[in-house]
């Protein structure tokens, strides 16, 4: 019994340290690769707990290998947008101004019942109230309500408050994401004019967000010292 308690304690603290190294988020926010790693970690940790005859060092090496693979995968995805898109997928807009994009739902294998259920979980019971709805890469639904359906706040009481729309990423780490142009009414010419007016070069931008109403946000890269 004492040996089992010691082995469980070692694995418990070891797994906590490894999860901290991987920078894990809440379970509902895990990407597919992160969820796979989490499941495998639990399975590997359970083997020496159930069988004291299994060397503890075997499980420790296996855990270290999985953690290393996840850290390498995260580093590669951070550097390559194409690999990140392949591994994690891309957010998809499934509702635009109350109209459901059925092709996107089929592509995601997301049923109508799944969509309505997630809307209800966001306290949205009328699809016509939705301005935009996006299926994120972790399978969660993000919802933007139409302007007249937004919750009342001091800002919304201001009659001059600008209407809001869905912002899309058009530049990420100095790279132009042309596939987002359709969603934010952007093109190469408009983008060049914005960069020129803001006196910033494409490669100097960490990320740039824009919407279909002409609003945009630019975050410059910090100068490394």
Residue 65 has pLDDT above 50, yes or no: yes
Section 49-77 average pLDDT: 80
* Dist CA 170 CA 181 (whole Å): 7
Distances (CA, A) of 31 to 136, 142, 150: 10, 16, 30
The three-class DSSP label of residue 22 is helix
Q: Are 88 and 31 in contact (CB under 8 A)?
A: yes
What is the structure's pLDDT at 150?
75
* Dist CA 166 CA 145 (whole Å): 10
Which tokens go with 158?
């201001």
Task: Give the pLDDT band of residue 111 (cuts 50, 70, 90).
Answer: confident
Residue 36 has pLDDT above 80, yes or no: no
Pick the residue with more confidence: 199 or 43?
199
Please name the residues in contact with 96: beta carbons below 8 A apart, sequence gap of 6 or more.
Answer: 131, 132
Q: At what angle do helices 56-79 and 32-50 cross, to 10 degrees?
A: 170
Sequence spans of domains, the chain: 2-85, 92-149, 168-220
Which tokens go with 166?
């869905």
Section 186-196 average pLDDT: 91
Pick the residue with more confidence: 176 or 1?
176
Place of tokens 């259920």: 117
Most confident of 32-41, 178-187, 190-199: 190-199
* Dist CA 159 CA 72 (whole Å): 50
Section 62-70 average pLDDT: 81
Section 17-43 average pLDDT: 66
pTM here is: 0.62
The dotted CATH code for 168-220 is: 3.30.240.20
Phi and psi angles of residue 138, each rounded to the nearest 5 degrees, phi first:
-95, 5
* Dist CA 120 CA 139 (whole Å): 15
The three-class DSSP label of residue 135 is strand
* Dist CA 110 CA 113 (whole Å): 8
Residue 156 has pLDDT above 60, yes or no: no
Q: Are 96 and 103 in contact (CB under 8 A)?
A: no
Task: Give the pLDDT band of residue 26 (cuts 50, 70, 90).
Answer: very low
Task: Give the pLDDT band of residue 120 (cuts 50, 70, 90).
Answer: very high
The dotted CATH code for 92-149 is: 3.30.240.20
Pick the residue with more confidence: 199 or 182?
199
Residue 68 has pLDDT above 60, yes or no: yes
Question: Of the ranges 22-31, 54-63, 211-220, which one carries the lowest mean pLDDT score?
Answer: 22-31
Tell me what the pLDDT averaged over the chain comes to: 79
Section 207-224 average pLDDT: 86
Task: Give the pLDDT band of residue 193 (cuts 50, 70, 90).
Answer: very high
């Amino acid at each position: 019994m004492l040996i089992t308690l010691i082995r469980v304690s070692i694995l418990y603290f070891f797994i906590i340290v490894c999860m901290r190294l991987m920078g894990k988020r809440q379970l509902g926010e895990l990407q597919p690769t992160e969820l796979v790693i989490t499941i495998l970690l639990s399975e590997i940790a359970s083997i020496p707990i159930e069988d004291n005859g299994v060397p503890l060092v075997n499980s420790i090496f296996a855990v270290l290998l999985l953690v290393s693979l996840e850290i390498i995968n995260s580093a590669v995805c951070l550097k390559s947008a194409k690999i990140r898109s392949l591994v994690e997928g891309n957010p998809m807009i499934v509702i635009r101004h109350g109209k459901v994009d059925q092709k996107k739902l089929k592509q995601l294998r997301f049923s109508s019942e799944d969509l309505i259920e997630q809307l209800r979980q966001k306290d949205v019971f009328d699809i016509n109230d939705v301005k935009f709805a996006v299926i994120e890469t972790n399978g969660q639904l993000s919802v933007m309500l139409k302007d007249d359906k937004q919750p009342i706040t001091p800002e919304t009481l201001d009659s001059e408050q600008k209407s809001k729309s869905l912002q899309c990423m058009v530049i990420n780490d100095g790279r132009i994401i042309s596939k987002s142009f359709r969603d934010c009414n952007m093109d190469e010419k408009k983008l060049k004019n914005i960069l020129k007016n803001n006196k910033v070069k494409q490669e100097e931008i960490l990320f740039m967000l824009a919407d279909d109403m002409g609003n945009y946000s630019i975050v410059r890269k910090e100068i490394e010292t």
